[in-house]
Structure formats: C-alpha cells, structure tokens
C-alpha cells in the first residue's frame, strides 16, 4: 500500500498521553491535527473538555482514554470516567482491558467490564486496548472475541506504556478475530511512514501515534 501524506493522515489519531502534558502542548496538538487532517486527537480524560472545545467545528474528533494505562480500575470507576468524558465532549473512547482478570481466566468479569463502559458511552464508539505484548496469540484471539461480544466497535493493540507496542503479527491476528466489520487500531511504537503503512496493510484501519507529524511529513517535508 502507498498513500499520500494527506490520505494517511485520515487514519491517524494524533496522541498525547504523557502525564505532564501542558495546555500549551495540547493546543499545539489540536493545531497540528487540524492542519494535517488527522482523524482524531487522543488525550487523557482530564484534558478532554479542553481539547473538545479547541476542536469544535474544525474536523478532527476528540478522543479520550479510560482506565488508562493499566485497565485496573473497578468497572464502576471506568464507567463514571467514560460518562464524564462523553459529557465533556469525547466522541470516541479508548478503554484498557482488565488484564489481571483476563489472565485469571475470569472472562465473565472482563466482558462485564467492557459492557459497563459501552453502556456508559451512550452510543459513543468504544475501542478496547488489549496490550497485546502481554498476550499469547490464543489470548489475543479470545480477548478480541470477548470485546466484540461485549459491544466494542474497535480493538486496539497497546497503550504505549507497556512492555511492547504494535506489531504486524498482532494486527493480523486481531483482524482475523474480529472480521471486516469491527475496527482495529494499531498503537505503540509507530513512528515512521513505513511502519504506519505496514499496520494498515496488516488490517488496521486506525493508527494511534504521538509521532504523527513526522509520519506524514516523511514523504512531504514541506507539509501539506
């Protein structure tokens, strides 16, 4: 696959999730997202109201994370964070799977956790972050099935805070698990044009990256 920078930008959530992100950095993130035509701007939930205001009527969608980056919050807390983010303007949500419960084999709890956030979303699309570097191939397939059956419309590889990021192999497995109708988001360690395209070739239809500007500028250093 070969895409022009402007075409590739439409697949990217421009991301800033570091804990010390400042308002000035978030404002620059939004300005870049509008300039380059990124699909969305993904930030921590405490900042989503500010980002939603900055992006209003300008194109890119405000995206918030929930239960980030560990996925270890109680379901009621995740649901409240979800509802608050939506109230403040989030138009997509990336939540983190309850990895401990999943590793315990408590699949009912994992499913209920995802379903609680989906209910609180009130129709706002929910992506579930699997942290694929911590899962076997069989676990990736199972986690995808649980998430889809619980109402998620996307599955996502990584938080970017774990032991590894997105891989082509994980994306292929996820696409195999969810079929053509559910989204797959590749995130974590994607910093080049070539790697972004490899994820799309493998079956991703969204990219999460903090190096978004560098990715789309690689083939067009002067910008759009």
- Other beta carbons within 10 Å of 50: 17
Catalytically annotated residue among 78, 113, 127, 185: 185
Distance of CA 178 to the CA centre of its chain: 16
Predicted confidence (pLDDT) per residue in 142-183, tens digit: 999 999 999 999 999 999 999 999 999 999 999 999 999 999
Is the confidence at residue 223, as pLDDT, over 80? no
Please say whether the beta carbons of 184 and 174 come within 8 A: yes
Kind plus residue range of the DSSP H or E element containing 147 = helix 137-149
In this predicted structure, what is the pLDDT of residue 218? 77
Answer yes or no: is 135 within a domain. Answer: yes
Does residue 220 have a pLDDT over 70? Answer: no
| Euclidean distance between CA atoms 65 and 5, whole angstroms | 26
CA 103/CA 222 separation, integer angstroms: 47
User: Domain for residue 102, yes or no?
Assistant: yes
| Residue 224 within a domain | no
Conformation bin of residue 193: beta by default, left when phi > 0, alpha when psi is -120 to 50: alpha
Active-site hit among 94, 113, 127, 195: 94
What is d(CA 17, CA 65) in angstroms, rounded to the nearest whole number? Answer: 9
Q: Which domain holds residue 40?
A: 5-217
Residue 72 CB partners (closer than 8 Å, separation 6+): 98, 99, 100
Q: How far apart are CA 217 and CA 13, in angstroms?
A: 15
Query: Of 131, 192, 197, which Cα lies nearest the Cα of 160?
Result: 131
| For the chain, percent of residues with pLDDT exceeding 90 | 94
Residue 165 domain-assigned (yes or no): yes
Number of domains in the chain: 1
The whole-number average pLDDT for the span 100-113 is 98
Domain assignment present for residue 29? The answer is yes
Say whether 185 is catalytic: yes
Q: Is the pLDDT of residue 82 over 80?
A: yes
Based on the residue annotation, tell me whether 195 is a catalytic residue of this protein: no
Task: Specify if 72 maps to a domain.
Answer: yes
Which candidate, 114, 187, 165, places its Cα nearest to that of 144? 114
Nearest CA among 44, 29, 62, 11 for reference residue 159: 44
What pLDDT, in 10s, does the model give residues 24-62?
A: 999 999 999 999 999 999 999 999 999 999 999 999 999
The CATH number assigned to the domain holding 94 equals 3.20.20.70
Spatial distance between the Cα atoms of 88 and 96, rounded to a whole number of angstroms: 20
- 13, 113, 127, 156: the catalytic one is 156
- The yes-or-no answer on residue 113 being catalytic is no
pLDDT at 224 over 60: no
SS3 84: helix
Using 50, 70 and 90 to split pLDDT, how confident is the model at 222? low
């Amino acid at each position: 696959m070969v895409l022009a920078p402007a075409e590739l930008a439409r697949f990217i959530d421009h991301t800033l999730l570091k804990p010390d992100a400042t308002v000035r950095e978030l404002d620059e993130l939004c300005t870049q997202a509008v300039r380059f035509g990124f699909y969305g701007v993904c930030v921590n939930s405490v900042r989503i109201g500010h980002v939603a205001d900055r992006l209003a009527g300008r194109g890119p969608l405000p995206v918030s994370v929930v239960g980030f980056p560990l996925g270890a919050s109680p379901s009621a807390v995740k649901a409240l964070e979800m509802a608050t983010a939506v109230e403040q303007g989030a138009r997509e949500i990336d939540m983190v799977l309850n990895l401990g419960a999943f590793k315990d084999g408590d699949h009912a709890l994992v499913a209920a956790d995802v379903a609680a956030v989906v209910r609180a979303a009130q129709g706002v699309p929910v992506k579930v972050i699997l942290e694929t570097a911590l899962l076997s191939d069989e676990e990736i397939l199972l986690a995808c099935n649980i998430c889809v059956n619980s109402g998620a419309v996307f599955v996502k590889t990584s938080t970017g805070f774990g032991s590894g990021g997105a891989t082509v192999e994980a994306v292929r497995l996820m696409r195999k698990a969810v079929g053509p109708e559910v989204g797959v988001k590749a995130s974590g360690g994607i910093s080049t044009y070539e790697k972004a395209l490899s994820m799309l070739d493998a079956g991703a239809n969204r990219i999460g990256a903090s190096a978004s500007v560098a990715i789309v500028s690689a083939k067009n250093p002067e910008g759009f």
